[in-house]
Amino acid sequence: MSTRTPLIYSPKVLEIFRNPKNLGAMQDASVVSQAGSPACGDVIRIYLKIEDGKILDASFESYGCAANIAAASILTEMVKGKTLKEAWMISWEEVAEELGGLPAIKYHCSILAVGGLKRAIRKYIDETRRERPDWLPVDLSKEERQALEEEELIEKMYKKHGRAP
């Protein structure tokens, strides 16, 4: 008998998990980024098609739980049609709110989704522009730092216990 308590997800999380939108690799993506660690089981890869500073299309691949898939799916819907600046301003809290809330233990799923988005935007700008826009901070955003910290923590844990991620 399991002593684990089942997580209570909102109906919206469950619906998106069962029927995710924008799932799959994008062959003509302008940029691709990833956040998460295969070692912990939560990985999100974000694909963006960008033209004239606007996100025309977005898709994702996910290896993870229901919250991970739902966060990535809803994020791709949220960014379509937005400028890079508008998409950059999306927070992990907004993603969680758009999903009707997440259990506290699953907040990292929306953090990874937004971290992956911000990595993609930063990568795209680094690769295609000569100047950094005023709205793009020199230092990593909160979500980028949190995703990086999670990835580093998982790697440290695996090294400590003698396993490779």
Tokens read off for 140 = 């990593």
Domain boundaries defined on the chain: 11-160
Name which of 104, 78, 151 is nearest 5 in CA terms: 104
Catalytic, out of 69, 109, 147, 154: 109
pLDDT at position 131: 86
Q: Quick one: which of 106, 115, 116 has its CA closest to 66?
A: 106
Given the residues 40, 65, 140, 148, select the one marked as catalytic. Answer: 40
CB 84 within 8 A of CB 117: no
- Domain range 11-160, CATH architecture: Alpha-Beta Complex (3.90)
Dist. CA 67–CA 69, nearest whole Å: 6
| Segment 51-95, tens digit of pLDDT | 999 999 999 999 888 999 999 999 999 999 999 999 999 999 999
Instruction: Clarify whether 65 is annotated catalytic.
Output: no
User: Tens of pLDDT along the chain (165 residues)?
Assistant: 556 566 789 999 999 999 999 999 999 999 999 998 766 668 899 999 999 999 999 999 998 889 999 999 999 999 999 999 999 999 999 999 999 999 988 988 999 999 999 999 999 999 998 788 999 999 998 888 888 887 787 777 777 776 554
Nearest to 113 by CA among 98, 125, 135: 98
What pTM does this model have?
Answer: 0.87
| CA dihedral of 59, 112, 79, 52, whole degrees rounded to 10 | -80
Q: Are residues 29 and 48 in contact, defined by beta-carbon separation less than 8 angstroms? A: yes
